[in-house]
């Protein structure tokens, strides 16, 4: 039985956020039952202010009344606590590598993709160049594996959810071609494996809703 | 000697490299430090960390290089399981330690760099407030986690001690350059005491760069930052 701890698990999240989504994916992959609470940024809930007073950001995981912010910190905690379907490898070197790529995704790769999709005319060329370089680095890390985690979804796959799902939507809105089958065949293939994975598939926010949400932001 | 074939690409000036050295010392390991310069970057560094081109990098036996200071520290703790443990035992405590370090790396490091680059008192103000806020928060965290003992990790130094403590020399240098004391015995008594305990710890002693030397280095670095920001 996956939920061996049984105590209440609560997630404070935002449906459109890839960071919130990472937490949801991890819990779903482990079959852990949880209560989800949608946060409205314009009107932060008492829970959010109480449980994440420092950053006032989602996601926050609350387990046995103990709060934890920061998506990647939460994902490792989930992996530590519910040990079925491990997200991190056993070997210390492989673990270090998984952590390195997850951090690089947050520090370098996600920002490059995000900036490119929201860049104005002036900064566009440089931003696109950096985004393509970032995707190249990520594809090299994948090598010929099905997932970054090997045969199963791992920490890096979860950390790369933005690349696997959000980028396709954002690049369409921006009128850019960043992650395409022609430019990055292996990485593109991975993105398809990712979004079609049975558990991931039902845990991602609906495409048309996400598209409409970001399109509305783009028009502002 | 295969198991302990350890090389650290580090720099005397780097608080990140220091984190790794403290961890290696804590575990009682033999290792070689290959001192790096900020520029030009060595072939070995560029080959070992092509993605970020930064120190520290740990080269361990036949393994490929391991990069990112806190990731290296966790690796060391997982491979050499002899006491003392660097990470706490319980998952929630481990997660908290990682969280506080991401907070420090995010808020303290960026505001320190910004304040050093700020041209006048007006420009310094928001960064000063941020630094003071972080230190106030860490004072609370220390009081909560140390349970009356010398370190964040209790009796022995742990992840937060290593991650945060390695930054102390840079805090001193920042104070010298901006002419304002931020780590204040009056405002942060626990942290001030802890900083001394950390500096005196056998795994740390002698490794903290001397303030005058680091200040000179910092001044050159600030010029570089300012030049590339234009």
Q: Which of A54, A3, A61 is nearest to A35 (CA)?
A: A61
Give the pLDDT band (50/70/90) at residue A52.
confident
Q: Are the Cβ atoms of B78 and A103 closer than 8 angstroms?
A: no
Least CA distance to B51: which residue of chain A?
A137
Beta strand segments in chain B, E: 6-10, 32-35, 57-60, 66-67
Q: What is the ipTM of this complex?
A: 0.94
Residue A87 lies in a domain: no
Burial of A61: CB neighbours in 10 Å, binned 0-12, 13-18, 19+: buried
Domain boundary among A37, A54, A81: A81
Contact indicator for B30, B5 with CB cutoff of 8 Å: no
Q: What is the CA radius of gyration of chain A?
A: 17
Best CATH choice for the domain B6-79 from the list 1.10.10.10, 3.40.50.1950, 3.40.30.10, 3.30.470.10: 3.40.30.10
B148 exposure class (CB count in 10 Å sphere: 0-12, 13-18, 19+): exposed
Are the C-beta atoms of A153 and A125 separated by less than 8 Å?
no
Q: Are residues A168 and A96 in the same domain?
A: yes
Do residues A98 and A165 share a domain?
yes
A212 and A154 both lie in a single domain: yes
Do A168 and A126 belong together in one domain? Answer: yes
Per-residue pLDDT of chain B (230 residues; tens, 9 = 90+): 344 699 999 999 999 999 999 999 999 999 999 999 988 899 999 999 999 999 999 999 888 899 999 999 999 999 999 989 999 999 999 999 999 999 999 999 999 999 999 989 999 999 999 999 999 999 999 999 999 999 999 999 999 999 999 999 999 999 999 999 999 899 999 999 999 999 999 999 999 999 999 999 999 999 988 888 77
Domain-terminating residue out of A62, A81, A100: A81
Torsion from C-alpha of A99, A103, A109, A110, nearest 10 degrees: 110
* Same-domain status, A96 and A140: yes
Q: Report, as an integer, the average pLDDT of A16-21.
A: 96
Same structural domain, A64 and A171: no
**Which contiguous run of DSSP H or E holds residue B149?**
none
A180 touches chain B (CB under 8 A): no
**Domain harbouring A182, CATH code:** 1.20.1050.10
A residues 56-95 closer than 8 Å to B (CB): 63, 66, 68-70, 73-74, 76-77, 80-81, 92-93, 95
CA gap B92, A64 in Å, rounded: 10
Q: Where are the domains of chain B?
A: 6-79, 91-229
Does one domain contain both A196 and A110?
A: yes
Residues A112 and A159 in one domain: yes
Are both A170 and A197 inside the same structural domain?
yes
pLDDT digits over B20-32, tens only?
999 999 999 999 9
pLDDT digits 0-9 by tens, A101-157: 999 999 999 999 999 999 988 899 999 999 999 999 999 999 999 999 999 999 999
Q: Are residues A64 and A14 in the same domain?
A: yes
Distance CA B19, CA A75 (A): 24
Looking at A82-206, list the stretches that DSSP marks H as alpha helix, in order from N- to C-terminal side. 92-104, 110-118, 121-142, 155-159, 161, 167-174, 185-196, 198-201
Could you tell me the two tokens for B51? 């993605």
**Whole-angstrom distance, CA of residue A132 vs CA of residue A134:** 5
Contacts of B52 in chain A (CB under 8 A): 104, 108
Q: Is A123 helix (H, G, I), strand (E, B) or coil?
A: helix
Domain containing A198 equals 92-218
Query: Hey, which bits of chain A come out as E strands?
Result: 9-13, 35-38, 60-63, 66-69
DSSP code for B62: T
Q: Is residue A3 included in any domain, yes or no?
A: no
B contacts of A92 (beta carbons < 8 Å): 75, 78-79
CA B204 to chain CA centroid, Å, is: 11
In a domain, A56, yes or no: yes
Provide the number of structural domains found in chain A. 2
**Phi, psi (degrees; rounded to nearest 5) at A101:** -70, -35
Which of B95, B96, B138 is best to mutate for the A interface (most A CBs within 10 A)?
B95
What are B's interface residues with A at a Cβ cutoff of 8 A? Answer: 51-52, 60, 63-64, 66-68, 71-72, 74-75, 78-79, 91-92, 94-96, 98-99, 102-103, 137
Dist. CA B204–CA B164, nearest whole Å: 13
CB B160 within 8 A of CB B100: yes
Q: Are residues A104 and A212 in the same domain?
A: yes
Domains B6-79 and B91-229 share a fold: no
Topology of the domain covering B91-229: Glutathione S-transferase Yfyf (Class Pi); Chain A, domain 2 (1.20.1050)
Distances (CA, A) of B208 to A143, B14, B93, B204, B212: 40, 10, 27, 7, 12
Any idea what the CATH number is for the domain that residue A34 is in? 3.40.30.10
Same-domain pairing of A147 and A214: yes
Q: What is the pLDDT of residues A63-95, one digit of tens each?
A: 999 999 999 999 999 999 999 999 999 999 999
């Amino acid at each position: 039985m996956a939920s061996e701890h049984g105590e209440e698990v609560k997630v404070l999240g935002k449906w459109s956020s890839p960071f919130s989504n990472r937490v949801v994916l991890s819990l779903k992959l482990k079959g852990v039952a949880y209560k989800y609470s949608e946060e409205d940024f314009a009107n932060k809930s008492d829970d959010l202010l109480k449980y994440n007073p420092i950053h006032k950001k989602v996601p926050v995981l609350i387990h046995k009344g103990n709060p934890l912010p920061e998506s990647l910190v939460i994902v490792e905690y989930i992996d530590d606590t519910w040990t079925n379907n491990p997200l991190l490898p056993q070997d210390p070197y492989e673990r270090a590598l998984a952590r390195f790529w997850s951090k690089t995704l947050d520090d370098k790769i996600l920002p490059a993709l995000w900036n490119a999709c929201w860049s104005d005319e002036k900064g566009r060329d440089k931003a696109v160049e950096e985004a393509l370089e970032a995707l190249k680095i990520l594809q090299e890390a994948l090598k010929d594996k099905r997932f970054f985690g090997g045969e199963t979804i791992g920490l890096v796959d979860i950390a790369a959810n933005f690349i696997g799902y959000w980028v396709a939507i954002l690049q369409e809105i921006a009128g850019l071609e960043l992650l395409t089958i022609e430019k990055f065949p292996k990485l593109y293939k991975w993105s398809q494996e990712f979004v079609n994975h049975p558990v991931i598939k039902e845990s991602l926010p609906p495409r048309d809703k996400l598209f409409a949400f970001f399109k509305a932001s783009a028009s502002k | 000697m295969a198991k302990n074939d350890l090389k650290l690409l580090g720099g005397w000036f780097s608080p990140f490299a220091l984190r790794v050295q403290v961890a290696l010392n804590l575990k009682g390991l033999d290792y070689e430090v290959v001192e790096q310069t900020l520029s030009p970057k060595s072939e070995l560094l560029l080959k070992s960390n092509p993605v970020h081109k930064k120190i520290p990098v740990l080269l361990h036996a036949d393994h490929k290089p391991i990069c990112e200071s806190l990731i290296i520290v966790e690796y060391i703790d997982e491979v050499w399981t002899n006491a003392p443990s660097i990470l706490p035992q319980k998952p929630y405590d481990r997660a908290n330690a990682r969280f506080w370090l991401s907070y420090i790396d995010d808020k303290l490091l960026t505001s320190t760099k910004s304040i050093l680059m700020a041209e006048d008192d007006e420009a310094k103000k928001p960064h000063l407030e941020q630094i003071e806020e972080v230190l106030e928060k860490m004072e609370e965290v220390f009081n909560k986690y140390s349970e009356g003992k010398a370190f964040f990790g209790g009796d022995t130094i742990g992840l937060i001690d290593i991650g945060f403590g390695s930054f102390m020399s840079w805090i001193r240098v920042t104070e010298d350059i901006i002419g304002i004391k931020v780590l204040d015995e009056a405002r942060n008594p626990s942290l001030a005491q802890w900083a001394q305990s950390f500096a005196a710890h056998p795994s740390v002693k002698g490794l903290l760069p001397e303030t005058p030397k680091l200040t000179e280095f910092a001044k050159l670095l600030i010029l570089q930052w300012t030049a590339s920001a234009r």
